[in-house]
Amino acid sequence: MILFVKYDFNQACKTLLKEHLDALGILYTLGGLGEVEIKGNLTEEKRSLLSNSLKKYGIQILDDQKTTLVERIKNAIDELLKNEELKSVKVSTYLADTLCYSYAHLSSLFSESTYTSIENYIILRKVDLAKELMCNTDHTLTEIAFQLNYSSVAHLSGQFKKTTGLTPSAFLRIMKKKMNPSNNPQP
């Protein structure tokens, strides 16, 4: 038997962080995505315990400023893409205002660290979100294109095909087959 689950990655991480921080008696405030403000001093021993307890979940504490800023850029992009109220905001303006650095600096650092541009990363994330929406909602491709701020369904379909090698409808057919194994004959 296969059990399919749907989860909110950000909520899962926040809950996990809360549990581990509380267990160690660390006073904190959860900030934006991937950001924890520690109240007071964090001893090296507690930092090490926290780091080790989170490692088994694939969560690591970032020490490098560049890596931290790249993660903050990715988190800000995710927030921008998922927030309906921010649909009309320019990415460059949003990132510069949110992270308090010039967009040129952020773009250069991002490209240097990830070997891709912010623009390309946004396309990849939009396609990922489109796949998620296609699999987990009853929205039409037109509604998904509108929700992800595409100028047209054709634009979404083009980027989807270029990124995945599949048209959105071919992707959906494959996913429906996977999710309904009774339609697949056993060898």
Which of 117, 122, 76 is closest to 98 using CA atoms? 76
Instruction: Assign 131 a pLDDT band (cuts: 50, 70, 90).
Output: very high
pLDDT over 90 for what percent of the chain?
41
Instruction: Give domain limits for the chain.
Output: 9-61, 62-115, 122-181
**Chain-centroid distance, C-alpha 32:** 13
Residues written for the chain: 187
Angle subtended at Cα 63 by Cα 58 and Cα 69, rounded to the nearest 5 degrees:
90
- What is the C-alpha separation between 132 and 175, in angstroms, rounded? 11
Query: Does residue 30 sit in helix, strand or coil?
Result: strand
Are residues 88 and 55 in contact, defined by beta-carbon separation less than 8 angstroms?
no
On the question of pLDDT at 156 being above 80, the answer is yes
56-73 confidence digits (pLDDT tens): 888 888 777 888 899 899
Q: What is the pLDDT of residue 129?
A: 93
pLDDT over 70 for what percent of the chain?
95
73-84 confidence digits (pLDDT tens): 999 999 888 888
| Dihedral-angle region of residue 168 (phi above 0 means left; psi in -120 to 50 means alpha; beta otherwise) | alpha
Q: What is the pLDDT of residue 77?
A: 93
Q: What is the pLDDT of residue 5?
A: 77
Report, at the CATH architecture level, how domain 122-181 is classified.
Orthogonal Bundle (1.10)
Q: What is the pLDDT of residue 7?
A: 75
On the question of pLDDT at 184 being above 80, the answer is no
Q: Which two tokens stand for residue 3?
A: 């059990």
How many CB atoms neighbour CB 62 within 10 A?
13
